[in-house]
Structure 1
Amino acid sequence: MSDRKLTKVVAGLFIAAMIMGPGPGLRLINPDPSDPDAVYTFLGIPTVYAWGLFWYLIQLVAILVAYRRLWRE
Structure 2
Amino acid sequence: MAFTLVAIFLIALIMGPGPGSLMINSPGSEPKFWFGMPALYVWAVLWFFVEAAVIIVAARFLWRKGQDNE
TM-score between the two structures when normalised by the length of structure 2:
0.83
- Consecutive unaligned residues of structure 2, counting only runs of 5 or more, are none
Q: Which amino acid aligns with 2:47?
A: W
Task: Give SS of 1:22's match.
Answer: coil
| 1:11 aligned onto 2:6 | yes
Equivalent of 2:42 in 22, 27, 50: 50
- Consecutive unaligned residues of structure 1, counting only runs of 5 or more, are 1-5
Match of 1:25 in 2: 20
Identity within the alignment, %: 36
- C-alpha RMSD of matched pairs (Å): 1.4
Give the distance between the partners of 1:64 and 1:8, measured in 2 at CA. Answer: 15
1:58 is displaced (CA, Å) by: 0.3
Give the distance between the partners of 2:9 and 2:46, measured in 1 at CA. Answer: 12
- Divergent runs of 4+, >2 A: none
Query: Conserved in 1, the CA contact under 8 Å of 2:16 and 2:44?
Result: yes
Query: Conserved in 1, the CA contact under 8 Å of 2:31 and 2:38?
Result: no
Give the distance between the partners of 1:55 and 1:10, measured in 2 at CA. Answer: 14
Q: Which amino acid aligns with 2:63?
A: W
TM-score between the two structures when normalised by the length of structure 1:
0.80
Give the distance between the partners of 1:52 and 1:8, measured in 2 at CA. Answer: 23
